Amino acid sequence: MLSNRVKNIAPSATFAIEAKTKQLRSEGKDIVNFGLGEPDFNTPESIKQAAKKAIDSNFTRYTPVGGIPELKKAIADKFRRENSIDYDVSEILVSCGGKHSLYNIAMVILDKGDEAILPVPFWVSYQEIIKLAEAKPVFCRTDKKFKLTADFVEEKVTKKTKLLILNSPNNPSGATIEPDEIRKIAELAIEHKFYVLSDEIYEHFVYNGKHTSIASLNEEIKKLTFTCNAVSKAYAMTGWRIGYVAGSKDIIKAMENLQSNATSNPSSISQYAALEALNGSQDSVTQMVKAFDERRKFIHKRLNEIKGISCIEPEGAFYAFPDISKTNMKSMEFASRLLDEALVAVVPGIAFGSDSHARLSYAASMHDIEKGLNRIEQWLKNKI
């Protein structure tokens, strides 16, 4: 009885692992969780205060569908300050989390028969969102370090290409795209006239060097780009559900129209919290990134010490994506046995388009990271 649209949509693998982890914990099992991609830090105090103030001031009613004017202005200021992109408030739409922004984009620009180029490995939901829009995901390779180049993209461009998805730093690999390649990819998009969805949700989590926003390069590529972001990761606000996108005015208007019929505005209270996140002190972001950097170095070193596992150095985000092929297990078997037999939760790489990898989120305390890696090492000892 289900619609054809949803019949082929897979549930989010990360949430499935999280559900099983919660179930095992409720049975009293001591699980080390490398599964879900959310910071283990609490939302900063000033942001929580802003939300409490919003409630006390009765900002609890419908707001304009695409966000309160103050928040849109804060987002425009943020783009100018951090990304060197000049967006007008009419080019910005606030939605119910980064995922919702991505969904809106796919829904308003993709049609049946359109192709969307998706570099592998990719974050789980891109593929399903493209399929929901009845378009075709076209997988694009990356190099041994999961780096995307313009040449790899060009191999996949056809007359049907409508969209390219960029995600730098990348979930699950942590790879970033080199600024030179971003420039060449922009030239390709302009030449072949396809849109670019640049998901920059991990932009602050770049450990060496600086993030480059493709829309900052020139006016032509800016018109073809949707720059997407959210407060979820940078401000430890995953549950608040505020994401945003900037792009050309007409398409933003179409997204607003869609949103007005689907969800209306994102939570009024969360919008005031996001306003404080963007306008307030950024110290908490700096502190969190510093902590992640220490964990990143540790997990990378430690994973490479484990027999049967090798891992490239993640350059960004908060994930490691080790190669597990020498364990002679496919990623699903690896993840499911690891959870059952050693009480460590990881996400199978197949969910991200690679069956010879697993994703470990290092959004966990150093103590847990150490404990989890010791368990993996012990568990693999008799297997290889």
Ligand X SMILES: Cc1ncc(COP(=O)(O)O)c(C=O)c1O
Using CA atoms, how far apart are residues 74 and 71, in angstroms rounded to an integer?
Answer: 5
162/233 with CB nearer ligand X: 233
Amino acid residing at 125: S
308/314 with CB nearer ligand X: 314
Beta strands in the chain (DSSP E): 32-33, 92-95, 115-119, 136-140, 161-166, 195-199, 225-230, 243-246, 319-320, 344-345, 347-348, 358-361
Which parts of this chain interact with ligand X (CB under 6 A)?
A: 37, 97-99, 123, 167, 171, 199, 201, 230, 232, 238, 243
CB 164 within 8 A of CB 189: yes
Burial code of 247-284, b = ≥16 C-beta within 10 A, e = fewer?
bbeebbebbbebbeeeeebbbbbbbbbbbbbbebeeeb
35/37 with CB nearer ligand X: 37
Identify the three-state secondary structure at position 204: coil
299/306 with CB nearer ligand X: 299
Residues in the chain: 384
Closest separation between CB of residue 159 and ligand X, Å? Answer: 28
Query: In this structure, what DSSP letter does residue 229 have?
Result: E
Closest separation between CB of residue 167 and ligand X, Å? Answer: 5
Closest separation between CB of residue 305 and ligand X, Å? Answer: 27
Closest separation between CB of residue 163 and ligand X, Å? Answer: 15
Closest separation between CB of residue 228 and ligand X, Å? Answer: 7
CB 224 within 8 A of CB 333: no
95/331 with CB nearer ligand X: 95
Closest separation between CB of residue 118 and ligand X, Å? Answer: 12
Q: Is 113 exposed, middle or buried (0-12, 13-18, 19+ CB in 10 A)?
A: exposed
199/315 with CB nearer ligand X: 199
